[in-house]
Amino acid sequence: LSTQDENPVPAPAPGFGEVTLKVRGVAVQVFVTHLDYRADPAVRRAQVADTRRIMARERAELPGAHQFLLGDFNAEPSAPELAPLWQELSDAGAGTPATYPAEAPVKRIDYVTAGKDVRIRSAAVPEEPRASDHRPVVADVSLPRRTPGRD
């Protein structure tokens, strides 16, 4: 663990966390979000724009870092407000079952996403209705090998 910021921008709530890890000497930035739940997508649209700005800034400060964005996006993958995310990120859970509500899921609103440089090997939504009101999303990913002589 090399950095941790408990409550960085953006607000509005409910939150956006970030941690930077080192994996075999390479920075891996993991962002976690919980986008607004209301039916009107305007706040989620603003939160997505803020998220993209922050991730771009962090990417510029740590060239070569791999990025992940995880969380409850409160919108289906095809929602227009999420479209800007798919320009830079891949949805690891594409094709996986619904995640919400946990007891009898009907919506896929929980995500593991990764920068386009990360290879997604597999993803699953375990049938676990007790740990949360959402089912978890689990992904197996592969980071590109570091090029010798490059940082």
Q: Is residue 11 part of a domain?
A: yes
Residue 143 has pLDDT above 90, yes or no: yes
Which residues does residue 16 pair with via DSSP β-bridges, in sequence order? 33
pLDDT score at 151: 46
Q: Is residue 150 part of a domain?
A: no
- Give phi and psi for 12, each to the nearest 5: -65, 160
Query: What CA–CA distance (Å, rounded) separates 142 from 151?
Result: 18
State the residue range of the domain holding 26.
Answer: 3-142
Q: Is residue 97 part of a domain?
A: yes
Could you tell me the pTM of the whole model?
0.87
Q: Is residue 49 part of a domain?
A: yes
Share of the chain above pLDDT 90, in %: 79
pLDDT score at 125: 97
Q: Is residue 147 part of a domain?
A: no
CATH code, domain carrying 110? 3.60.10.10
Q: Is residue 122 part of a domain?
A: yes
Share of the chain above pLDDT 70, in %: 86
Q: Is residue 66 part of a domain?
A: yes
| Residue 96 · residue 68 · CB < 8 Å | no
Q: Is residue 149 part of a domain?
A: no
Mean pLDDT of the chain: 89
- Number of domains forming the structure of the chain: 1
* 33-83 per-position pLDDT tens digit: 999 999 999 999 999 999 999 999 999 999 999 999 999 999 999 999 999
For 122, residues 6+ apart whose C-beta sits below 8 A from its C-beta are: 139, 140
Q: What is the mean pLDDT of residues 19-39?
A: 93
Task: Give the SS3 label for residue 20.
Answer: strand
Cis, peptide link before residue 77, omega less than 30° from 0: no
